[in-house]
Structure 1
Amino acid sequence: MNNKDVPIWEKYTLTIEEASRYFRIGENKLRRLAEENQNADWLLMNGNRIQIKRKKFEKLIDKLDAI
């Protein structure tokens, strides 16, 4: 990790790849969730790149029994 890199647990948004590692959910599953929930408050589109708002997605996961 470069001294200028922000640790993943401190980032506001995560890429699909980062979120997959952080939440231990497959990239394909995360992409499918993003496609099915395009207007979700935990989702942010940066051009054509999917960004996941980490804290909001954590709150969503806290409410679920299965994903």
Structure 2
Amino acid sequence: MELNNQNTVTEQDGSRKNEIPMNQRYTLSLNEAGQYFHIGVKRLRRLAECNIGNFSVRCGNRYLIVRPKFEEFLINNSFV
């Protein structure tokens, strides 16, 4: 899974997984958020575990990052 120049996620065989650009999605998986914000997945997982309800949501055994709220969190904090 990687980003192309339109910020859409593509699979290794070249097929597009999702047509919605990452900057327009409301929630991102930890891998997608790591690519979008240039933050490691381990750091994002720790942040998500500590901030459920603030900017992260747990869906089954997965964590999803709410992009607009996480952007606000990054603006208000000087370090991650």
TM bin (shorter chain): 0.7 to 0.9
Percent identical among aligned pairs is: 38
TM-score by length of 1: 0.86
Q: Which runs of 4+ in 1 moved over 3 A?
A: none
Equivalent position SS for 1:25: coil
Question: Which residues of structure 1 form unaligned runs of 5+?
Answer: none
* Structure with more helix by fraction: 1
Question: Which residues of structure 2 form unaligned runs of 5+?
Answer: 1-9, 11-15
Partners of 1:56 and 1:36 in 2: CA distance: 14
Provide the residue aligned with 1:52 in structure 2: 65
- Cα offsets for 1:2-51 (capped at 9, x unmatched): 3x51100000000000100111110000001112223x321111111110
RMSD: 1.6
TM-score by length of 2: 0.73
Which protein, 1 or 2, shows the higher relative CO under an 8 Å CA cutoff with sep ≥ 6? 1
The answer to whether the aligner puts 1:65 opposite 2:78 as a matched pair is yes
